[in-house]
Amino acid sequence: MRVVAEEILRIENLHVTVEGTSILKGVNLTIHRGEIHAIMGRNGAGKSTLANVVMGHPAYVITEGSIFYRGQPLEELAVFERARAGMFLSFQYPAVIPGVQVGTFLKKAVTSVRDEAPKGRAFRKELTAAMEQLSMDKSFLSRYVNDGFSGGEKKRLEILQMLLLKPNLALLDETDSGLDIDALRIVAKGINEVAVDSACLIITHYQRLLDLVKPDYVHAMINGAIVQTGGPELALELEDRGYDWLDVTA
Amino acid sequence: MNYQQMAIPPRSEHLWRYTPWPRIHPTVTDEVPKADEVIFSLEGGDAFEAVAPTDHSYDDIARAFLQAAGGSSSRLIINESSEPVHINARASGHVAVGHLELEIKGSAVVFIHISGEPEWVGLHITGTIHPNAQLSFGFINELDSNTKFLRCEDWMIERDAELEHATLSVGGFRCKSDLRSTLNGTGASIRQSVTVNAIGARHEDQHVEIHHLHGRTNSDLVMNSACAGSSHFIGTGLLTIAEGANKSDASQVFRNLLLSEKARAEAIPELEVLADDVSAAHGAASAPVDKNQMHYLMSRGLSPEESQAMIVNGFLLNAFSNLTNKFLIEEMRTRLTVHLECELKR
């Protein structure tokens, strides 16, 4: 008997505007636990909008359609409740929080999501292991969140958070941008670890991350809608042929 | 000139524009009420050297008033101290005034914690940092939330001496501080930070003057305030670089975080540069909490209240980022964090 994995995210006919401009125009997407989906598309296609609207960014207005997380309508959940329910967004441009040390921030985030303060010794061990996996020096913990970080350091901190928060749904918005090949391998290792037991949506421009994190499904997004879905071979084809062949408006 | 001979300064003067003298005087301006003493004690119980009140003639009305009001008068001379020195300044009665003279001849870390519940407190600190000496100085205002507070400081920083000066102001109802430092020798430097958390209807006016009299002197001022409720914060700075004080480097940055629609903040840095070959910069900004910062923290499971508290905490702590002494930074961070945690629980 085939066991159907739990449905984590279901997006139905999603239409979204930002400051009155229509960005998403009828997106449909379902992701189950254990699946890795990748969305590829040109700049401005609506990929990051999709990730941000799922996470509840207040700038985006849903004008039509629905999003369900583990069967529950998402509009019922505030941003922090989504995080506590197991949703995670790795930001393309993570915010800088001056004066807030990374160590303090991580402990607070873990406490909020797990609904209890982590035990000191066990947490230190867990944190050390995750940081070693990402080749992060302990001095990171005393730095201010993303303040003066290089692009690669910001992305590593995002993945570190993902490893500690152990989400059911991981949304990764251009996590590969700004990374050199060594850093990309390290980050990909972290994503693969989390992806085993969660649903994962990777937003990217390039094939290179998908060489290291094998997607089950690849979607091409054009002008605010998913126009083609396929397996990993679609990513190779998009890399090779670009998007014009899928763009009916071109 | 004594206080009774002085004219009330007009509001057109930079220093008195936002908190005019009648608003910070304890009663009516032609009165000099009998003041109780602010009691200074060293943690551990050691006594200060009591000294006769200074007969210095002041041009400034606030200093002249504090002199006329009397109160306590103490002096502390530190030749060298490996451990931080904690001074408790305890105010009581209706009107309390204290004068403290500090003389630093070596390396020292000094904290002053002022507390108490009088209606009005005045404090005048004068300090001399001798050539080649270093002082890291933290001032923590934890006065009762109904107290009016007038604070004046005058620092003389001699050749190759360093002053690190941090203020954390979380107490008092109406506070005016006038902090003046003079870089009085080549190689003298000051790094100064002011952190203010204004809640309720608090009115806080911080005026900082730094005077570069000699060449190759350095100053760095950071002033951060967070204003909630209907509070009003005023930060004014006056930075002067005298003629011939070449190769001096000076900067002032004022940042205000506005946490409610009724909160107000003014940030007014001023420069007077009379030397040719110097580096001098100033900047000021007032803004509400950044929405992207809020969203980022909430996306990590922090509630809106927790997110704002973390941003405010970080913003205020960041004012200490120009300091280098670990005792000073740690103490100021701890005091601020405890204060904000208590505030969050209220």
Q: Do B310 and A82 touch (CB under 8 A)?
A: no
**What confidence score (pLDDT) does residue B21 get?**
96
Q: Is residue B325 part of a domain?
A: no
pLDDT in tens, B279-325: 999 999 999 999 999 999 999 999 999 999 999 999 999 999 999 99
Average the pLDDT over A213-235 and give the result.
95
Give the total number of structural domains in chain B: 1
What are the tokens at B254? 């004022």
Which of B255, B299, B305 best tests the A interface by mutation, with the highest count of A CBs <10 A?
Answer: B299
For the segment A20-78, what is each residue's pLDDT rounded down to a tens digit? 999 999 999 999 999 999 999 999 999 999 999 999 999 999 999 999 999 999 988 99
- Say yes or no: A53 contacts chain B, CB-CB below 8 A: no
pLDDT of residue B47: 62
Alpha carbon distance A127, A102 (integer Å)? 12
Contact A79 B290 (CB under 8 A): no
Does a structural domain hold residue B132? yes
Q: How confident is the model at residue B55 (pLDDT cuts 50, 70, 90)?
A: confident
Whether residue A99 lies within 8 A of chain B, CB to CB, comes out as yes
Tokens of B237: 């700075």
CB nearest B296 (choices: A88, A95, A99): A95
pLDDT at B48: 72
Residue A109 contacts B where some CB pair is shorter than 8 Å:
yes
Residue B310 forms part of a structural domain: no
Instruction: Using alpha carbons, list the distances in angstroms from residue B110 to B51, B77, B113, B165.
Output: 20, 11, 10, 10
> How far is A40 from A47, CA to CA, in rounded Å?
7
Q: Is residue B136 part of a domain?
A: yes
**pLDDT over 70 percentage in chain A:** 98
Both structure tokens of B268: 């007014």
Can you give the pLDDT at residue A1?
58
Q: Binning pLDDT at 50, 70 and 90, where does residue B44 land?
A: low
Give a yes or no: residue B67 inside a domain.
yes
What average pLDDT does this structure show over B28-47?
86
Q: Tokens representing B74?
A: 């103490």
Residue B68: pLDDT band (50, 70, 90) is very high
Chain B contact present for A84, CB below 8 A: yes
Q: Hey, of B298, B307, B341, which one would you mutate to test binding to chain A, going by the most A CBs within 10 A of its CB?
A: B298
Q: What range defines the domain where residue B283 resides?
A: 3-288
Structure token digits, residue A244: 């014009």
Quick one: CA torsion of B8, B10, B14, B15, rounded to 10 degrees? 20
Picking from A60, A100, A171 by the largest number of B CB atoms within 10 A of its own CB, the best residue to mutate is A100
Residues of A in contact with B291 (CB under 8 A): 58
pLDDT average, residue stretch B177-201: 96
User: What is the pLDDT averaged over residues B205-222?
Assistant: 97
- C-alpha distances out from residue B261 to A24, A130, B228, B287, Å: 34, 42, 8, 11
| CB contact (8 A) between residue A83 and residue B300 | yes
Q: Which pLDDT belongs to residue B276?
A: 93
Q: Point out the residue among B290, B298, B310 whose CB comes nearest to the CB of A100.
A: B310
Q: Which residue of A has its CA nearest to B309?
A: A100
pLDDT at A200: 96
With a cut of 70, say whether residue A107 has pLDDT above it. yes
Distance CA(B319)–CA(B331), nearest Å, equals 14
Q: Does B53 fall in a domain? A: yes
Residue B56 has pLDDT above 90, yes or no: no
Query: What are phi and psi for residue A213, nearest 5 degrees?
Result: -120, 105
Give the pLDDT band (50/70/90) at residue B180.
Answer: very high
Contact yes or no for B299 and A83 at CB 8 A: yes
The least confident of B4-18, B32-46, B61-75, B224-238 is B32-46
Mean pLDDT, to the nearest integer, of B116-140? 97
Q: What is the mean pLDDT of chain A?
A: 93
Distances in Å between the alpha carbon of B54 and those of A205, B68, B130, B184, B335?
73, 10, 20, 21, 33
> What is the per-residue pLDDT for B208?
97
Nearest neighbour of B302 by CB, restricted to A108, A161, A165 = A108
Q: How confident is the model at residue B13 (pLDDT cuts 50, 70, 90)?
A: confident
| A82–B300 C-beta distance less than 8 A | no
- Residue (of B106, B122, B125, B132) closest to B165 by Cα position: B125
Given an 8 Å threshold on Cβ–Cβ distance, is B299 in contact with A79?
Answer: yes
Residue-range domains of chain A with CATH: 7-99+151-246 (3.40.50.300)
Residue B74's beta-bridge partner residues?
Answer: B50, B100
Position B170 in a domain: yes
Give the separation between CA B332 and CA B346, rounded to whole angstroms: 21
Q: Kindly list the residues from chain B whose CB atom is less than 8 angstroms away from the CB atom of residue A102.
A: none
- Check residue B85 and give its pLDDT: 93
Give me the helices (H) in A8-59, please: 47-55
